């Protein structure tokens, strides 16, 4: 992914984190929580959730909360299934047993995902400053054209065509086509 896409995904996690914390603070006021404000903030959390889940997937962070030990049940996975678990009976365990509330776990994973995306963006920007990166990109583009054309004709993804027995043959055709193009260009401008 390019650095700008990584930054957008990280920003989605930061936005989710901010509205989620604001929502939690509204809920945990000492008896003075405004129900209308809490409902509005809950809506903002839900709006921020799809992009934040995509960002967590990109970061390779998966949220999973096991059911309470005494009740059993299914494992809840993903941000939409775990963000509001702290409101459900049985998931409010915390305190003397050393359990962390589920909202704290969600916040930890969102912040971890944000850090992973920040690091990936930094690495991608560093990698793109190298001239070898751009040479590699140009070679992959030109050598991949025959496989791309075949994938369009037969309706199979390019990666499957390149992974098949025809992949090396198509790369060879790509090299020959590139050399012929360079030769034709040289003829056209009068080098030969």
Residue 124 and residue 135 share a domain: no
Residue 9 and residue 51 share a domain: yes
Residue 69 and residue 111 share a domain: yes
Residue 97 and residue 170 share a domain: no
- The pLDDT tens digits along the chain (192 residues) read 899 999 999 999 999 999 999 999 888 886 677 888 888 999 999 999 999 999 999 999 998 888 776 667 788 899 999 898 888 776 665 554 556 788 888 999 999 999 999 999 999 999 888 888 888 777 777 766 666 666 666 676 766 766 777 777 776 777 787 777 777 778 878 877
Residue 164 and residue 70 share a domain: no
Q: Which of 128, 160, 180 is the last residue of a domain?
A: 128
pTM (2 decimals)? 0.68
Rounded-to-integer distance, Cα 137 and Cα 134, Å: 5
Residue 51 and residue 82 share a domain: yes
Residue 75 and residue 122 share a domain: yes
Rounded-to-integer distance, Cα 82 and Cα 99, Å: 15
Q: How many C-alpha atoms does 106 have within 13 Å on its Cβ side?
A: 28
Give residues with Cβ within 8 angstroms of 24, minimum separation 6. Answer: 103
Rounded-to-integer distance, Cα 145 and Cα 69, Å: 55
Rounded-to-integer distance, Cα 144 and Cα 135, Å: 14
How many domains are there within the chain? 2
């Amino acid at each position: 992914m390019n650095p700008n896409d990584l930054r957008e995904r990280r920003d989605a996690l930061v936005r989710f984190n901010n509205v989620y914390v604001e929502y939690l603070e509204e809920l945990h006021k000492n008896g003075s929580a405004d129900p209308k404000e809490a409902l509005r903030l809950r809506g903002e959390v839900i709006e921020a959730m799809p992009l934040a889940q995509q960002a967590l997937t990109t970061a390779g962070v998966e949220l999973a909360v096991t059911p309470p030990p005494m009740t059993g049940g299914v494992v809840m996975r993903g941000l939409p299934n775990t963000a509001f678990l702290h409101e459900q009976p049985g998931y409010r365990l915390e305190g003397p047993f050393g359990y962390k509330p589920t909202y704290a776990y969600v916040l930890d994973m969102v912040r971890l995902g944000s850090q992973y995306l920040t690091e990936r963006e930094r690495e991608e920007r560093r990698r793109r400053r190298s001239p070898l990166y751009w040479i590699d990109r140009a070679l992959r583009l030109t050598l991949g054209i025959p496989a791309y054309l075949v994938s369009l004709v037969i309706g199979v993804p390019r990666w499957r065509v390149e992974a098949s027995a025809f992949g090396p043959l198509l790369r060879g055709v790509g090299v020959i086509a590139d050399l012929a193009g360079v030769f034709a260009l040289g003829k056209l401008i009068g080098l030969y």
